[in-house]
Amino acid sequence: MATRLKYDEEEIINQLHQQATCRTAFGKVIEHYSEQLYWHIRRMVIDHDDTNDVLQNTFIKAWTNIDNFRGDAKLSTWLYKIAINESITFINKKKVQNNISLDDDDSFLVNSLEADRYFDGDEAQIRLQKAIATLPEKQRLVFNMRYYDEMKYEEMSEILGTSVGALKASYHHALKKIETFFENND
């Protein structure tokens, strides 16, 4: 098992701003955040191979813009923002490729879930993913961040640029819609 390098965010941000140390420091950032960002993206785009592409794009975008990151926000907040933008861009591109209106929900992403070799959930899990995919994009994000990542509303507020009150309301609406989906599809 690979030993994890010690992660001190303040030190890493300093190293990221120096030419001699930035690459090594970014390696530590990738090691520290790749897994949590992977799961966040996976819950948005569903397919493993697509997630792999989006995650790669997220880190490359972060790396090429590392000079613009001044450390005003937390590194995790910045990376999550990039990951969310990349996920939404990817989903919209896929909708265009599949001749689906951009206004439609993301249910099409779940259609191939049963055939996915990197999915071993049961029928109930597939139904839950279908229910989540019917939510509007922002509600999907809020639901995933709160329910699966158990992220604090304050942190979500920084990432999504929405007030805590609005996020709570959004999560509540998402729960109601999922319950309704299950009731209607029993």
Is residue 23 a contact point for other proteins (CB under 8 A)?
yes
Q: How many CB atoms lie within 10 A of CB 122?
A: 8
Contact residue for other proteins among 52, 92, 107, 134 (CB under 8 A): 52
* 67 token code pair: 């000079």
Is residue 66 a contact point for other proteins (CB under 8 A)?
yes
Contact residue for other proteins among 53, 63, 105, 130 (CB under 8 A): 63
The residue (of 37 and 160) whose beta carbon lies closer to other proteins is 37
* 177 token code pair: 């819609």
Element (H, E) at 172: helix 164-184
Is residue 147 a contact point for other proteins (CB under 8 A)?
yes
Cβ atoms of residues 111 and 88 within 8 Å: no
Alpha carbon of 18 to those of 11, 22, 32, 58: distances in Å?
A: 11, 6, 20, 21
Please report how the helices 48-64 and 22-45 are oriented relative to each other, as an axis angle in degrees rounded to 10: 140
Contact residue for other proteins among 3, 6, 10, 18 (CB under 8 A): 18
Where does this chain bind other proteins (CB under 8 A)?
2, 16-19, 22-23, 26-27, 30-31, 34-35, 38-39, 42-43, 48, 52, 55-56, 59-60, 63-64, 66-67, 118-122, 124-125, 128-129, 147-148, 171-172, 175, 178-179, 182
